[in-house]
Amino acid sequence: MDVFGLWIRQFGQCYRLLLREQMRQLDYLFFTLLFPCLFFLIFGVPEGTDFWRANTLLASFSAFGVLGVVLFQLAVISAQERHTRWQSYLRGLPLSAGCLLLARVALVMSFSLLSIGSVYLTARWGTAIEIDWLTQLKLTAVLLTGSLPFALIGYLVGLFASPKGVIPLANLVYLSLSYAGGLWFPPQMLHPVIQQLSEQLPSRYYAEILWDIALYREIDPGPIWVLIQHTCVIALLLTLLICLRRGFLTRQAV
Amino acid sequence: MKHMALEVDKLSLSFGPRQILNELSFSVPAGQSIALLGENGAGKSSLLQVLAGQLRARSGKIQIHGLPGKSLTARRQLAYAPQFLDFPAGLKIREIMHFVMKLYNSSAEQLQRVSADFGLAELEPRPADRLSGGEAKRVSLALAFASNASVLLLDEPAAALDQHYQRTLTHYLEQLKGRSTILFVSHERPASLSLADRLLYLDQGRLSEDISQSRPHEISKLSFFASECPTLKGVVQQQRSGDYWELSSFDGDALVRQLVSSGVPFSHLSLSREALD
């Protein structure tokens, strides 16, 4: 079997194993569904009284829910599992490079569909959203693909935080990116200093793309390019830090 | 020249300022069984973890059947049963076993046979996080033996096993002798050392002795009273209770000679010999 074929096969095996493991943890599934839905019920539903507000809130809170899974949960899972004997054992198995990590990233991205679904259903029930299925599909696709830089940030946090230190650190990163990125309040309502900061954050550009889709506006390519640039920089930084941590740049072991 | 299954060249590992392995070098011909010996903290388990790819060495070179140790083809040739292994909640033992076996391209029949020998049939449907230490050990040994890997790294393989499964383990090690290359760490059963063709003694991350043995048939036990014990070569096991010392070695006479010439005061010296298995 060629190298790529083997990689794909092993990726599939890792994904299925992780999926089984996660699916049997019912409390994980329940709270992944409940948290964004409850948050939207408290803060989104009372404000979603017209098309513009309801559709903006749907996009913002869906993004917040996705960040909760791909950034916060991935960071916590990575940090807490890294020191387990099972993870050490997996590192010793004949697995292709990056297979397990990418399977984990793909899994959290798949689970973020649950939070998108729960926010959508709550919005349908309690707000004045007007969104057709094709637009919702487009929104979901962008929510998933656009979450990649946040998954990388989540992994980065999980890689360097201790199992106990990861929760406050991941919370800090996740809540700051959400708030300053304009996912809770429109950016123009934020403090001027935060507004300036907002323009440097990937969450702001992620939200900009989602708002365009949810409000049936023509998509501005600017935020897409900035988000791609952010993704590349984060991926590069992550690769560099992994190499430094594993000593690829400083040691001579084969 | 005999084909080398494992070649380790100037391998060093450190945790912060603590040097765990210090420019360790040795080669293992295919089919040889090696017992890794040394005191706690000598670096035995760390060496197996580095060879298995679980820990990354600071410097040095590992080759498995002439291939770089990190290559996927080389890693397929190597299986590791750790000293302790915990499994994650949410998975069943059967799923874990099939996952690992697919990575090694091992057959279902092979897995079934090893699984039956290690009494895993009843464990397979059980949640993986609810196993006792001995059960987890049986699973990790079964995974190593079922992998068909030609190099086996076994860390304290007999620890936590009851007598029945210790016999199963010995049976497997005897069967694989000469066919697979085996490195094992053993503390609890000096008797199992009779399965080794060669003994490697580690001391503070360095190779202090490398003894090729024609299978020994007996082990000597040396006991004495002393306030301290000098460093003696060839000690397989060392126990202390206050001033009372008990040392095991394959060459008791050499041990007595070393003790006397060390100049350390001692009393009530006793030497006994025990047949192995």
Same domain, B120 and B194: yes
**CATH at residue B258:** 3.30.70
Same domain, B186 and B262: no
How high is the pLDDT of residue A253? 47
Same domain, B260 and B145: no
Interface test with A, best of B23, B45, B91 (most A CBs within 10 A): B91
Distance of CA B97 to the CA centre of its chain: 22
| Listed residues B186, B212, B238: the one ending a domain | B212
Question: Is pLDDT of A254 > 70?
Answer: no
**Cα–Cα distance, A189 to A204 (Å, whole number):** 14
Can you tell me the mean pLDDT for A44-52? 93
Same domain, B60 and B146: yes
- Residue A117, H or E segment: helix A99-126
Distance of CA A60 to the CA centre of its chain: 13
Question: Is pLDDT of B194 > 80?
Answer: no
- How far away is chain A from the Cα of B166, in angstroms, using its nearest Cα? 23
- How far away is chain A from the Cα of B69, in angstroms, using its nearest Cα? 6
Question: Is pLDDT of B88 > 70?
Answer: yes
| Eight-state DSSP code of residue A247 | T
| Tens digits of residue pLDDT in B111-152 | 999 999 999 988 888 888 899 999 999 999 999 999 989 999
Question: Is pLDDT of A252 > 50?
Answer: no
How high is the pLDDT of residue A31? 87
| Listed residues B173, B193, B212: the one ending a domain | B212
B85 and A86 in contact by Cβ < 8 A?
A: yes
Of residues A28 and A149, the one with the higher pLDDT is A149
| Tens digits of residue pLDDT in A183-230 | 998 899 999 999 999 999 999 999 999 999 999 999 999 999 999 999
pTM: 0.83
Ranges A132-136, A223-227, B68-72: which has the least confidence: B68-72
- Residue in chain B closest to A25 (alpha carbons) equals B90
- B 70-129 → A contacts, CB under 8 A: 70, 72, 75-76, 80, 82, 84-91, 95-96, 99-100, 102-104
Interface test with B, best of A89, A90, A249 (most B CBs within 10 A): A89
Closest by CA to A78, choosing from A156, A18, A23, A146, is A156
Question: Is pLDDT of B87 > 80?
Answer: yes
Question: Is pLDDT of B259 > 50?
Answer: yes
User: Residues of A with CB below 8 A from B61's CB?
Assistant: 252-254
Same domain, B77 and B207: yes
Same domain, B128 and B263: no
B130 and chain A in contact, CB less than 8 A: no
Same domain, B261 and B126: no
Number of domains, chain B:
2
Same domain, B266 and B158: no
A246 and B95 in contact by Cβ < 8 A?
A: no
User: Containing domain of residue B190, as a range?
Assistant: 4-212
**Cα–Cα distance, B55 to A9 (Å, whole number):** 25
Can you tell me the mean pLDDT for A63-68? 95
A251 and B76 in contact by Cβ < 8 A?
A: no
**CATH at residue B195:** 3.40.50.300
Same domain, B203 and B253: no
Same domain, B84 and B127: yes
Same domain, B148 and B232: no
Which tokens hold the place of A79?
Answer: 């940090």
Per the prediction, chain A carries an average pLDDT of: 91
**Banded pLDDT at A247 (limits 50, 70, 90):** low
Q: Which residues pair with B238 in a beta bridge?
A: B247
> Beta-carbon neighbour count of residue A233 at 10 Å?
13
Same domain, B185 and B162: yes
